[in-house]
Amino acid sequence: MVSQPRDYVPGSLDISKVKGRIVLCFNEINSGTEKINETINQGARGLILVDDSLKIESDSIILRHLTFPHTYIGSKDGNATLSYIQSNRNPTTTILRSATSTDYKPAPIVASFSSRGPSYLSANLLKPDITAPGVNIIAAWSGMDSLFRIPGQAPVDYVLISGTSMATPHISGIAALIKSQHPTWDPSAIRSAIMTTAVQTCSDGSPILKLPGLEEATPYDFGAGEVNIEQVMNPGLIYETTTSDYYGFLCNLGYNLSTIKLIAKNVPEGFSCPKNANAALVSNMNYPSISISGFKENTYGKVTRSVTNVGDEYETVYEVTVDAPERIKVQVIPHTLHFTKDCKKRSFDVKFSTKDALKSDGFGWITWNNDKYRVRSPFVLS
């Protein structure tokens, strides 16, 4: 094991002291990735990187390199490790065989690289929609690519990759699975099923946290929550967003008809943007979430939503529950939705009001329940 120098810049390591050994480094300058690359280039077998900020991220098991053995520890453990090295003539450490860690708690945690809201396009449309696993995902890798190759070792066929590009195939696969079971559903119905069945708590029942800082996450961090594969095939109710909704969305963003025709195909003959089109009306888009901007004291806002019964029961009644932030009054009218074989679609209004100024954006949830299903939608007042 090598402990000196305490920190280093690229090109400063003595290869005769590093090659074939495990390096202990107190990360005070440059980045953790640079330290890993430097130790690899000098032939080290592994790296123990001491960095309190990186230790926080390592608690959610985010790796900086995908094939090189390394770990992150905090300064307290780092000083204890250094003391052990300095007090022993032949200090040793062991790299254990890779193993899968199960039942990790708390999980999930929103990664630091995860996409965050609010939407830059419109504050009246909540983004992101959903959260999916994207940290340390086993992915196929071309042996021709040397990015993660370690000198002297054979090319790898699989690596662990983290990023939104790893969360995307999870959602794509789930969408394909839903489509295989519900071939007549359009993309908006599939999105609705994914969003309204999501979960918002960790494996231990606590609120989902986010990095950096491990603060409590909000819909700006995880959207409707983490995708829930156990419920997503049978959501009970779905929010269907029509093509007309999207035409209206573009109108309300300020696009004229000529521009809309460049963006969207098959714009109906005779279509024109309504004269009252404005950004605030984006909130009325039939979306599985709700977002209203410009919400101040003595403010009143209303949106309308429609849901379609796709559950196993034709005759059923859903009741609504609301989780609202303090000093925000939320009314859902009607508070029950009755579905029959001949009436599968129902509409409802959601009214928001407050007498006080919001100190920060307010988040809440509207949930429709019957004996079998829970259909949950986030809302944000900004």
Measured between alpha carbons, how far is 78 from 80 in angstroms, rounded to an integer? 5
Please report which confidence band the pLDDT of residue 66 belongs to, taking 50, 70 and 90 as the band edges: low
pLDDT tens for each residue of 232-254: 999 999 999 999 999 999 999 99
Q: What is the pLDDT of residue 367?
A: 98
At 244, phi and psi to the nearest 5? -60, -35
Q: Which of 3.40.50.2300, 2.60.40.2310, 2.30.40.10, 3.40.710.10 would CATH assign to domain 235-381? A: 2.60.40.2310
For residues 189-193, average pLDDT: 98
Please report which confidence band the pLDDT of residue 6 belongs to, taking 50, 70 and 90 as the band edges: low
Please report which confidence band the pLDDT of residue 2 belongs to, taking 50, 70 and 90 as the band edges: low
Domain 15-86 class in CATH: alpha beta
Please report which confidence band the pLDDT of residue 18 belongs to, taking 50, 70 and 90 as the band edges: confident
User: Hey, what amino acid is at 305?
Assistant: R
DSSP labels, 243-295:
HHHHHHHHHHTT--HHHHHHHSSSPPTT----TT--GGGGGGS--SSEEE-S-
For residues 89-99, average pLDDT: 85
Among 92, 111, 110, 16, CA closest to 48: 92
DSSP labels, 366-378:
EEEE-SS-EEEEE
Taking each continuous run of H as one helix and of E as one strand, the counts in the chain are 9, 17
Residue 363: DSSP 8-state:
E
Measured between alpha carbons, how far is 333 from 336 in angstroms, rounded to an integer? 8
Q: Where in the chain is the domain with CATH 2.60.40.2310?
A: 235-381
Please report which confidence band the pLDDT of residue 58 belongs to, taking 50, 70 and 90 as the band edges: very low
Q: What is the pLDDT of residue 5?
A: 52
Above 50 in pLDDT, residue 60?
Answer: no
Q: Where in the chain is the domain with CATH 3.50.30.30?
A: 15-86
Above 60 in pLDDT, residue 121?
Answer: yes
